[in-house]
Amino acid sequence: MNTTKGEIQPGVDFQEPHTRQDEESLKGFVERILAEAKRQGATAAEVAAGDDIGLSVVVRSGDLETVEFSRDRGFGITVYLGNKKGSSSTTDISDDSIRESVEAAVNIARYTEPDPYSGLADPDRLATEFPDLDLYHPRPMDVDEAKESALIVESSAESVDSRIFKCDSSRIGAASACTAYGNSLGFIHAERESRYNMLADVIAKDSDGMQRDYWYSTSRNAAELDSPTSVGETAANRALKKLDPRPIPTGEYPVLFDRGIASGVIGHLISGLGGRAQYLKSSYLLDSMNKKIATDALTLREHPHLKGALGSRSYDSEGVATTEKPFVEDGVVRNYVLSSYSGRHLDMPTTGNASGVCNLTVEADLQPIEDILKQMGTGLLVQSLMGQGVNIVTGDYSRGAAGYWIVDGEFAHAVDELTIAGKLDDMFMRLVAFGDDVDLRNSIRTGSLLVESMTVAAN
């Protein structure tokens, strides 16, 4: 952290920015902050520190539109005075800042109230093994190379059809992060990870109006990104397919959530199983442990140790070891999504999910999308959702939607300006098909999901 290596240098933008040595110095930095917390009287403390380096290049109209170099450093500390807790965070990594940040956290902890559930993770839950999860694939990438790829994305999108008005932007991003976590129980570990993105944002236009859609590829390994041609063409074809939307009548129809948005639907169920939602009794899945909350056909299991996956991690944000486990098995709740705090509150052990679920995977009888469309017959294939109309307390679901109208299993025409509405508990009971088109771009891994029936309101 104190080295000047890795400062922004035009030309060599992304040449293995983080080394093993960086992990060691970041751990040293965390230890200094923990020592300062002890010096200032904290009875326990935990620190997370990070150093992220990124490059983002946007091309528009055959030329660079934006080049952005990013460097984010900082740390956050939580101190405990017995059961009282205070936190602070800063982007300033100077020695003065360490002292001031610890002071700020300790000052706050004097005013918060004793909370019997607060504190560090139980020592026996802390991770002791750190397998190589294949998360770091540094590679040199400079502005010119990123620009060349982005230009191919753009030209591929714009050459698909004369109705492509514009590739509004094509973006290449690369990021390298080094993070460390340590606590006063003696746990300390650092990791490096990389991430690469390629995105096309495309506008199609005909006499009826304009439609926008996008597509992206993301990976920890730049070599595993989809080709620029495929990203550009996919985005263009999606935008084209939205042109000329036609009305449908308001009614009850089968609704197929496309792979690109299905993870969000699963995410609502996971929110309902969250520890905080449970102990605050603000979940539509309140007290659902070992109860049936979804169709028998659905199992949701997390696989935190998959090599190279976007959601892989060997420990959570409290240092607790992550483990493979089901949250829902044959439609029955087997685990809540717990941190140490919410676990103690609910009188259960932490599940190692203080930082969310890791590679949560839909395990069901996965079918080809063509078969699912046939099974659906006539209904709505939702490609995009809008708005925040999901209430986890009640399970009420009502969101803006656009996509395709399907008749006899075939694409009929685009539809938009719709809402789809239902109750989350009902939607998960009536999940009747699971696509094999699993989207690996998200920490929730699912293919398309077919809900037997929802209310579709149309203009």
Partner 1 sequence: MSDTQMANPKNQLLDASDITDSKLEDLMGRMMSRQVDRGELYFQSFRNESWALEEGMVKDAGFSVSRGVGARAISGEKSGFAYADDIRPEVLEQTTSAAKSIARQGSGKVAHVEATRDVPMFYGTSDPITSVSQDDKVALLSRIDRFARSLDPRVKEVSVRIAATHESVFIYSSDGISNGDVRPLVRFSVSVIAEQNGRREQGMSGGGGRHDLKWLFEGENAEDFAREAVRQALVNLDAIDAPAGPLQVVLGPGWPGVLLHEAVGHGLEGDFNRKGTSAFSNRIGQQVASPLCTIVDDATIPNRRGSLSMDDEGTPGQKTVLIEDGVLKGYMHDKLNSALMGTSSTGNGRRESYAHQPMPRMTNTFMLAGESDPEEIIKSVDFGVYAVAFGGGQVDITSGQFVFSATEAYLIENGKKSSPIRGATLIGNGPEIMTRVSMVGNDLELDRGVGVCGKEGQGVPVGVGQPTLKVDEITVGGTST
Q: Using CB under 8 A, which residues numbered 37 to 96 contact partner 1?
A: 60-61, 63-74, 76, 85-93
> Contacting partner 1 (CB under 8 A), which of 112, 155, 271, 323?
112
Q: Are 290 and 332 in contact (CB under 8 A)?
A: yes
Give rounded-to-5 percent helix, strand, coil for the chain: 25, 40, 35
Task: With contacts defined by CB under 8 A, name the span among 191-199, 227-235, 315-323, 381-389 that binds partner 1.
Answer: 381-389
Q: Report d(CA 119, CA 344) in Å as an integer.
A: 10
Residues 436-455 that bind partner 1 (CB under 8 A): 455
The 193-222 site mask, x for binding partner 1 (CB under 8 A), equals ----------x-----xxxx----------
Q: Does 409 bind partner 1 (CB under 8 A)?
A: no
Residues 128-187 that bind partner 1 (CB under 8 A): 143, 165-166, 168
Closest to partner 1 by CB, 53 or 373: 53
> Contacting partner 1 (CB under 8 A), which of 3, 15, 21, 250?
250
CB of 237 to partner 1, least distance (A): 17
Q: Report d(CA 157, CA 163) in Å as an integer.
A: 11
Pairing of strands 164-183, 444-445: unpaired
> Contacting partner 1 (CB under 8 A), which of 363, 416, 425, 452?
416
3-state secondary structure of 42: coil
> Contacting partner 1 (CB under 8 A), which of 229, 230, 295, 391?
391
203: its two tokens: 């506008």
3-state secondary structure of 138: coil
CB of 223 to partner 1, least distance (A): 26
Q: Report d(CA 182, CA 382) in Å as an integer.
A: 44
CB of 378 to partner 1, least distance (A): 16
Question: How many residues are recorded in the chain?
Answer: 459
Q: Does 407 bind partner 1 (CB under 8 A)?
A: no
CB of 308 to partner 1, least distance (A): 25
Closest to partner 1 by CB, 266 or 414: 414
Residues 334-373 that bind partner 1 (CB under 8 A): none
Among residues 334, 345, 344, 415, the alpha carbon closest in space to that of 382 is found at: 415
Closest to partner 1 by CB, 302 or 452: 452
Give bridge partners of residue 188 from the DSSP assignment.
182
CB of 350 to partner 1, least distance (A): 17
295: its two tokens: 């169709």
> Contacting partner 1 (CB under 8 A), which of 281, 290, 347, 365?
281
3-state secondary structure of 374: helix
**With CB under 8 A, what is the number of residues at the site for partner 1?**
84
Among residues 346, 375, 215, the alpha carbon closest in space to that of 283 is found at: 346
Q: Does 105 bind partner 1 (CB under 8 A)?
A: yes
> Contacting partner 1 (CB under 8 A), which of 50, 138, 264, 400?
400
- Radius of gyration over every alpha carbon of the chain, rounded to an integer in angstroms: 24
Q: Report d(CA 216, CA 94) in Å as an integer.
A: 38
CB of 438 to partner 1, least distance (A): 26
Task: With contacts defined by CB under 8 A, name the span among 177-185, 245-253, 319-327, 362-370 that binds partner 1.
Answer: 245-253
Q: Report d(CA 332, CA 338) in Å as an integer.
A: 17
- Enter the DSSP assignment of 383: E
DSSP string, 283-320: -TTTT-BTSB-S-TT-EEEE-TT-TT-TT--SB-TTSB
Task: With contacts defined by CB under 8 A, name the span among 215-223, 310-318, 390-398, 432-440 that binds partner 1.
Answer: 390-398
> Contacting partner 1 (CB under 8 A), which of 21, 140, 246, 280?
280
Task: With contacts defined by CB under 8 A, name the span among 2-10, 122-130, 188-196, 294-302 that binds partner 1.
Answer: 2-10
Count of C-beta atoms within a 10 Å radius of residue 399: 18
3-state secondary structure of 239: helix
